[in-house]
Amino acid sequence: MASTSSTAVGNGSPVVKWVLRLLVVGYLLMLVIWPTAYVVRHTFADGLTGIQEALADPDVVHALKLTVEVAVISVLINTVFGVGMSLLLVRYTFIGKRALSVLIDLPLSVSPVVVGLALILVYNGRFGWFGPWLEDHGLQVVFARPGMVMATCFVILPLVIREIVPVLEELGDDQEQAARSLGANGWQSFWRVTLPGIKWAVVYGVVLSLARALGEFGAIKVVAGNVGGDTQVATVLVQQKYQNFEQQTAYSVAFMLVFAAVLCLVVVALLRPKEGKER
């Protein structure tokens, strides 16, 4: 914007501008930057030894592996369903569409702990509605990986869909109709036209849900059972180590989680400008 512009926001005095900037920066500093920096500082208080020691603990290694495994599986499932549900919500009309749309936002408002409890009620092997039958058929859901994946899927459900739906709406179905008239069947039109059109929304959704899945705590804590070296994920491990006064390990693992999340965002930020040039 030119300095001569007289828009309502742009014409404040320099003093107001600086006060506003300080306010925003101060807010971010107190809320995000300082605490994160604190974690980083504690992690590297003794150089790399903290991380080395943490990685020497088999429980830590297992927890990290498990976290990645659960997150990746959940994100894969969530991406496939997310794209499918977005198409359903935008391209088709059916009874109960609005109800479905509201339902998809539910995980944003319901506490993850409640989600975990609900899953236990349904899939618990002893008194759940569905659990005993599943366990009779050799599938343990609660206190095992299926339950952890389900809990994570529930929590990240809206993230992909809410990224894709607006993009799909803006895209319209003109290009899909053109593809159909040129001989493409539904599948070809999806792969060649729709998916490239929503590519960036999908990438954003995937990264967001990956970051969220890596950091999930509440639901997974209830469902997983937290047996160290078996069903304990990294976030829960951080809490446990911290409470057991193994603070160096707790900080190190916390740092790794933060690092992974920041890495996700950096990857997106690096991919994004290229897209801008293309357009």
Alpha-carbon torsion, ordered 15, 16, 19, 25, to 10 deg: -120
To other proteins, the closest distance from the beta carbon of 171 in angstroms equals 9
| Residue list 186-215, contact with other proteins (CB under 8 A) | 188, 192-193, 196-197, 199
In the complex with other proteins, the residue whose CB is nearer, 6 or 181, is 181
To other proteins, the closest distance from the beta carbon of 190 in angstroms equals 13
To other proteins, the closest distance from the beta carbon of 181 in angstroms equals 4
In the complex with other proteins, the residue whose CB is nearer, 126 or 274, is 274
Q: Which of 185, 194, 204 shows the shortest CA–CA distance to 75?
A: 204
To other proteins, the closest distance from the beta carbon of 96 in angstroms equals 20
In the complex with other proteins, the residue whose CB is nearer, 5 or 185, is 185
Residue 145 tokens read as 């990986």
CB-based contacts of 218, cutoff 8 Å, min separation 6: 111, 112, 113, 115, 116
CA geometry: angle 246, 249, 253, nearest 5 deg: 140
Give CA–CA dist 57/278, Å, rounded.
Answer: 47
| Residue list 91-110, contact with other proteins (CB under 8 A) | none
Q: How many residues form the binding site for other proteins (CB under 8 A)? A: 19
In the complex with other proteins, the residue whose CB is nearer, 12 or 196, is 196
Q: Which x/- pattern, by CB under 8 A, does the window 162-181 give for other proteins?
A: ------------xx-xxxxx
Residue 87 tokens read as 């198409």
Give CA–CA dist 279/272, Å, rounded.
Answer: 11
* 3-state percent breakdown (helix, strand, coil) of the chain, nearest 5: 80, 0, 20
To other proteins, the closest distance from the beta carbon of 89 in angstroms equals 21
To other proteins, the closest distance from the beta carbon of 163 in angstroms equals 18
| Residue list 250-279, contact with other proteins (CB under 8 A) | 278-279
How many Å from the N-terminal Cα to the C-terminal Cα in the chain? 21
Q: Where do contacts with other proteins occur on this chain (CB under 8 A)?
A: 174-175, 177-185, 188, 192-193, 196-197, 199, 278-279
